[in-house]
Chain A
Amino acid sequence: MTIFYSFIFCGLTCVIGQIILDNTKLTPGHVTSILVVVGAFLGMIGVYDKIIEFVGAGATIPITSFGNNLFNGAYIGFKSNGFIGLFENMLTNGSLGITTAIIFSFIFSLITKVKD
């Protein structure tokens, strides 16, 4: 059943992005930035973790989950280590996406030939 919920949730997130793209002059860069901020906001309210429990991977795949990860890392860091802990732990949860993308795209871009 979580597969069906994943389908619905991930699809609806993409629909929101597509509606913003079609009806305004914003670029894909704007849309992803807006969705990251929305994800961090939903994390602040505490909604996004419940959505992930309910929906599963369908909620961890959209870019909103990146904002939620950043917020969770910062908040947990603040709880455990005070104000300086916020800066220490901001990227702990979000580093998976950034590091993987950096390392593999660097390797693949070295391998490929330059296009015309």
Chain B
Amino acid sequence: MEKREYQELVKSTTPKPKRMCNTVIAFLVGGLLGALCEIIRALLINYYNFKPSESASIVCFLLIIVTCFLTAFFDFDKWVIKFKAGLIVPTTGFAHSIQSCAMDYKKDGLITGIGSNFFKLAGSVILYGIVSAFIFCILRVVFYG
């Protein structure tokens, strides 16, 4: 079989992603997560007298703990596959990547397993976040003062 024919065959048999469906699911899941966090934040401000900045931190803190807990003891992996970007883009994706890396490599020991693979996926977020923040900070200082 020629290379071109083979490529056409592969193209015809690979399942096409349901883009519209995926987008709607991501919108609903991400939106509901955001709305839930805003409800918790409003409760913290109105009934427990926290400052707005403090309450945002507490919401983020709770979300990360809940995600780590669900990944460790329940099937959060399956939910991420099902809801895709709805759970990857919020902070849940960051916590989930760290937790799942730590659990996957636990069998290799504390140092060579958990320690060296902890930031395997989340490392890119931290690296490019810090590099871009550094560059943008220099740019802002140079152009705006």
Enumerate chain A interface residues (CB-CB to B < 8 A).
2-4, 6-19, 21-23, 28-29, 31-33, 35-37, 40-41, 43-44, 52, 55-58, 60-63, 66-67, 70-71, 73-75, 78, 86, 90-91, 94, 96-98, 100-102, 104-106, 108-109, 111-112, 114-115
Contact = CB atoms under 8 A, between A and B. Distances in A.
Contacts of B31: 6-8, 10-11, 14
25 contacts: A4-B35, A6-B35, A7-B31, A7-B32, A10-B31, A10-B37, A11-B34, A13-B30, A14-B90, A17-B88, A18-B23, A19-B23, A32-B125, A44-B139, A60-B37, A60-B56, A86-B134, A91-B130, A97-B91, A98-B126, A100-B65, A106-B102, A106-B114, A109-B72, A114-B103
Interface in B20-63: 22-23, 26-35, 37-42, 56-57, 59-61, 63
A35 B88 CA distance: 11
Interface residues on B, range: 35 or more
Contacts of B35: 3-4, 6-7, 10, 58
A62 B102 CA distance: 23
Given A6-B37, A105-B71, 13 more contacts: A3-B35, A14-B30, A14-B85, A31-B85, A35-B89, A56-B41, A63-B89, A70-B130, A90-B134, A97-B64, A97-B94, A104-B95, A115-B103
B90 A108 contact: no
B11 interface: no
A27 to B, nearest CB: 9
Contacts of A90: 130, 133-134
A21 B91 CA distance: 17
Contact of A96 (B57, B99, B139): B57
Contacts of A67: 129, 132-133
Nearest to B131: A37
Nearest to B135: A40
Given A43-B136, A86-B137, A33 B128 contact: yes
